[in-house]
Amino acid sequence: MSQDRRYSFEFFPTKTDAGHEKLIATARQLASYNPDFFSCTYGAGGSTRDRTMNTVLQLESEVKVPAAPHLSCVGDSKDDLRSLLTQYKAAGIKRIVALRGDLPSGMGMASGELRHANELVEFIREETGEHFHIEIAAYPEMHPQARNFEDDLRNFVRKANAGANSAITQYFFNADSYFYFVERVRQMGVDIPVVPGIMPITNYSKLARFSDACGAEIPRWIRKQLEAYGDDTASIQRFGEEVITQMCERLLQGGAPGLHFYTLNQAEPSLAVWNNLKLPR
């Protein structure tokens, strides 16, 4: 793994002007910590395409932190994707997070000209050469729609070999799953940096619901402690901060090349972990 560690934060585009103003305020607060970049998600089937682009361009031009838009191929034609890449390139964007993307309800797998993330990575390279640093997704605990773990590992290798520069993982709460995943893909010849995705714990019911949907396992001991706190939000947040800080310490000590925080458009939970780790600013 690279010895040059990188730290980044992720946002999702909002549906309201008030939400967008809060997002930009959060980004400005996080910008004071000098992250390497911000990423911005892309709704199922490109449903937030315009809001993603507007957010990314504002983060890049006004907040002055390099921005990395998510780009998914589900539901988009090659012409759509080509247009987005052209606009991002013209705006000075240098990093793309390339994903297959989630399927909106009722949308079949046939939607869009590209069906898999490796095809999207190849397309970006064909269209733009080496202009973009391409991130891909990694799933230490297996993509929820993968047939099995071995098949998912092969999918990751395919994406990496298509021209990716680095990867960001789905969040997890078991550091061993990350280390095992990295060990396996290294054995399969992939040597790009794999950066752990970090989800702060602030609300148990929302976390449990989201984790069940995306295939991220919450270890039983963490679930039971969070359940025991009930509606005691302060205790949930204190416990969550401690758990995530300790996991991040282990990840960095074990050689992880950085951390990518899923902020959910909030600054404080991620910054609490950042400050506990005494990360550089």
Distance CA 243, CA 258 (A): 18
Distance CA 195, CA 36 (A): 13
Q: Is 114 helix (H, G, I), strand (E, B) or coil?
A: coil
Q: Which of 10, 119, 135, 241 is catalytic?
A: 10
Is 227 among the residues known to form the active site?
Answer: no
CB burial of 8-43 (b: ≥16 within 10 Å; e: otherwise) equals bbbbbbbeeeeebeebbebbeebbebebbbbbbbbb
Q: How many H helices and E strands in the chain? A: 10, 8
Residue 2 half-sphere exposure toward CB, CA atoms < 13 A: 13
Residues carrying an active site annotation? 10
